[in-house]
Amino acid sequence: MSTRCEAEHPLVSVIIPAYNRLPLLRRTLASVQEQTYPSWEVVVVDDGSTDGTADAVESLRDPRVSVVRLPRTGHLGRVRNAGIRATTGAYVAPLDSDDVWLPGKLRAQVDALRAPGARWAYTSYELVDEDGRRLPFLAGSGDTRGGWIVRDLLTMRIGVANSSLLVERALLREVGAYSEDAALPLRGDLELCLRLAYHARAAAVPRVMVRVLEHRGRTTHRAADPHALTASACERFAAWCPDPELRRLARREQGRHLLKAAAMWMDRGRHADALRLLLRALPRASPRHLAGAALRRLMRGFRSSGVAAPEGGARGASRTPGAEGGAR
């Protein structure tokens, strides 16, 4: 009977990293407890909180919910991986401590993964403010599409929220879990999704099943340079990917995000940082990106500030060796 139950309802391990977010974490945990899918376990990985997070989780007295206490790391990949190691479910479902699931999320995804060849799944999601009002996407796309989606992920035609994932544990063993690279403290979820998408077909649930809370304490707002972090995710994927064409695409996308990062620092008056990032972008970005608005904005900023820009601007960049084929 037990074996049959496990086959019909394989155990899902829910991984929640937490740091000083106890009021939000209570909502997040409640959304797991309200799932219509019956077979799950939760581990809250407390990254050195000082607000009593670990004690509060233990006081729930729910045998399905446990806590792992860590000294402060500040690195989401390391925290998430500690949770993965502490659990045993056939599937792994990451959930950020400020997001919530709708009640049918896990059931819809486990059902979707019964499709032949599908080994990971994601759902549509929505951004909401602290009053629950829906917000527009700030970047990327909320489109949801199944199948082989690595190119769409790289070029931001599809956006996958970390809290919308459900992944076979066996697949994580094959491709590796979250990056623990010190250069990628954030955006490791994108880099993991790229590896998953290269290795296996995705099952998409095109219904909103996750609400991502937009608030001042959101982890992504800690990043001084979100574009450079996205570029780092593309760079790491390019170094990992065995397919030459996808490596070239990843490096072009790296260049595009470096251009955005350079333009952001130019707007903040950090001209030396803007120049440093521009010089990294030039041998990677495609001619189309080098003819875009970000580079034009940069060149205007360099002229107005008196900083010497790369000779020839976009025309010189398009002649840089490797502009189409990635870094040399």
DSSP per-residue string spanning 153-196:
HHTTSS---GGG-EEEHHHHHHH-SS---TT-SS-HHHHHHHHH
Residues 182, 78: Cα–Cα separation, whole Å? 10
Q: pTM for this one?
A: 0.87
CA geometry: angle at 246 spanning 240 and 249, to 5°? 110
| Same-domain check for residues 60 and 175 | yes
Contact 83, 70 (CB under 8 A): no
Please tell me whether residues 120 and 141 are part of one structural domain.
yes
Considering the domain architecture, whether residues 7 and 126 belong to the same structural domain is answered as yes
**Same domain as 275, residue 216:** no
What is the spatial distance between Cα 150 and Cα 200, in angstroms, rounded to a whole number?
A: 9
CB 280 within 8 A of CB 286: no
Output the pLDDT for position 10: 95
| pLDDT recorded at residue 222 | 57
Collapsed DSSP state (helix, strand, coil) of residue 220: helix
86 with 106, same domain: the answer is yes
Give the Cα separation of 165 and 13 in Å (integer).
12
Is the distance from CB of 258 to CB of 285 less than 8 angstroms? yes
Q: How far is CA 217 from the centre of its chain?
A: 17
Assess whether 200 and 248 both reside in one domain: no
The pLDDT of residue 101 is 98
Per-residue pLDDT of the chain (328 residues; tens, 9 = 90+): 455 556 678 999 999 999 999 999 999 999 999 999 999 999 999 999 999 999 999 999 999 999 999 999 999 999 999 999 999 999 999 999 999 999 999 999 999 999 999 999 999 999 998 888 888 876 555 689 999 999 999 999 999 999 999 999 999 999 999 999 998 988 899 999 999 999 999 999 999 999 999 867 666 655 568 899 999 999 999 999 999 999 999 999 999 999 999 989 988 889 889 899 999 999 998 888 887 777 788 888 887 777 766 654 544 444 333 333 333 2
Which CATH number covers residue 28?
A: 3.90.550.10
User: Would residue 276 count as lying in a domain?
Assistant: yes
H or E, element range at 81: helix 76-85
What's the pLDDT score for residue 221?
Answer: 53
Does a structural domain hold residue 66?
yes
**Would residue 325 count as lying in a domain?**
no
Using alpha carbons only, give the angle 246, 139, 223 rounded to the nearest 5 degrees.
90
Q: With CA atoms as reference, report the closest residue to 76 among 179, 196, 204.
A: 179
Regarding whether 179 and 280 lie in a shared domain, the answer is no
pLDDT of residue 220: 60
CA–CA dist 267, 191 (Å, integer): 27
Give the Cα separation of 7 and 213 in Å (integer).
34
Is 324 within the bounds of a domain?
Answer: no
Range of the domain at 177: 2-222
Considering the domain architecture, whether residues 8 and 143 belong to the same structural domain is answered as yes
- Gap between the Cα atoms of 275 and 270, Å rounded: 9
Residue 312 domain-assigned (yes or no): yes
Q: How many domains does the chain have?
A: 2
On whether both 62 and 192 belong to a single domain, the answer is yes
Same domain, 207 and 278: no
